[in-house]
């Protein structure tokens, strides 16, 4: 049975903390390096429901994509919801490890998992990592469809293949436009429009598209926009990352039992609409 320090060393090799953005907060949040690990849970968000699930499973390690404390804190008091998470984890000897922007740009990374869930063929990163001589790492991915389809059908593909959320899939652009090449970026992607236009794709699938950037993008070009829930675009990474750790466990003979949380931790819970405008 491996020690936490051994498992973390392998996770850091997959997603080196030094490749995270300067503003990010990645790495091990809590946990005894000498503790023995035989069960791991992957999830997007380090919320109480995920900590409860880990405890019910008997997992000694949770790996999440989102940080618990992104902007730092002066307290972990149990009177705060994040403090309650910390108290619960420590009380039940559960470690927490975060791979965020260092997993976004990895090879394979978050957007590779998103492309895989959508059945797309990746041709390269949308924003290449200049430090990667092979040109495989970077933010987002440029992809090709096996066969052209309408933007409407591509949005339907996303709705069918990504985990269901209250938001569903929003579409901007001509629904009958033909889509052959697309860009995808897990998580918030409206800072990437310049790179998306430069890539010459027909559509861009991402999350958290704000009104003004989206409005400017559709006025700028015939680019189709497909906006999914943030959680839904990043959840496929959990399955990809779990498979990577499974392979590492097999190689070392660790016998780890690796789980992926199926809980929907997207904050939006219901959706009401009188129908799309004409």
Q: Does 104 count as an annotated binding residue? A: yes
In angstroms, what CA-CA distances link 273 with 38, 93, 172, 276?
Answer: 46, 44, 17, 8
Quote the crossing angle between the two packed helices 48-57 and 81-91, to the nearest 10°.
10
Label residue 71 exposed, middle or buried (CB < 10 Å: 0-12, 13-18, 19+).
Answer: exposed
d(CA 254, CA 40): 12
DSSP character at residue 163: P
Residue tagged 């940080």 (tokens) = 67
With beta carbons less than 8 A apart as the criterion, state whether 118 and 155 touch: no
Q: Does 234 count as an annotated binding residue? A: yes
Q: Does 10 count as an annotated binding residue? A: no
For residue 109 the two structure tokens come to: 């990374």
The binding site for a divalent metal cation consists of 65-66, 104, 230, 234
The binding site consists of 65-66, 104, 230, 234
């Amino acid at each position: 049975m491996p020690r936490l320090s051994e498992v973390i060393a392998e996770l850091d090799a997959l997603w080196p903390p030094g490749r995270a953005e300067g503003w990010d907060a990645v790495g091990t949040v809590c946990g005894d390096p000498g503790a023995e690990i035989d069960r791991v849970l992957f999830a997007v968000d380090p919320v109480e429901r995920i900590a409860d699930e880990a405890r019910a499973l008997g997992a000694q390690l949770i790996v999440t994509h989102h940080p618990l404390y992104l902007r730092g804190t002066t307290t972990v008091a149990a009177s705060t919801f994040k403090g309650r998470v910390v108290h619960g984890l420590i009380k039940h000897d559960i470690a927490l490890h975060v791979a965020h922007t260092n997993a976004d740009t990895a090879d394979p990374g978050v957007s590779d998992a998103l492309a895989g869930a959508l059945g797309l063929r990746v041709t390269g990163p949308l924003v290449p990592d200049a430090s990667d001589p092979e040109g495989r790492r970077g933010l987002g991915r440029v992809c090709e469809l096996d066969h052209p389809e309408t933007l409407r059908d591509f949005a339907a593909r996303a709705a069918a293949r990504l985990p269901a959320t209250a938001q569903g899939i929003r579409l901007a652009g001509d629904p009958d436009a033909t889509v052959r090449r697309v860009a995808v970026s897990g998580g918030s992607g409206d800072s990437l429009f310049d790179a998306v236009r430069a890539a010459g794709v027909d559509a861009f699938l991402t999350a958290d598209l704000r009104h003004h950037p989206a409005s400017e993008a559709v006025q700028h070009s015939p680019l189709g926009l497909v906006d999914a829930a943030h959680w839904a675009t990043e959840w496929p990474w959990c399955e990809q990352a779990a498979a990577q750790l499974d392979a590492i466990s097999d190689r070392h003979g660790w016998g780890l039992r690796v789980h992926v949380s199926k809980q929907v931790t997207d904050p939006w819970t219901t959706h009401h609409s009188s129908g799309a405008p004409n």
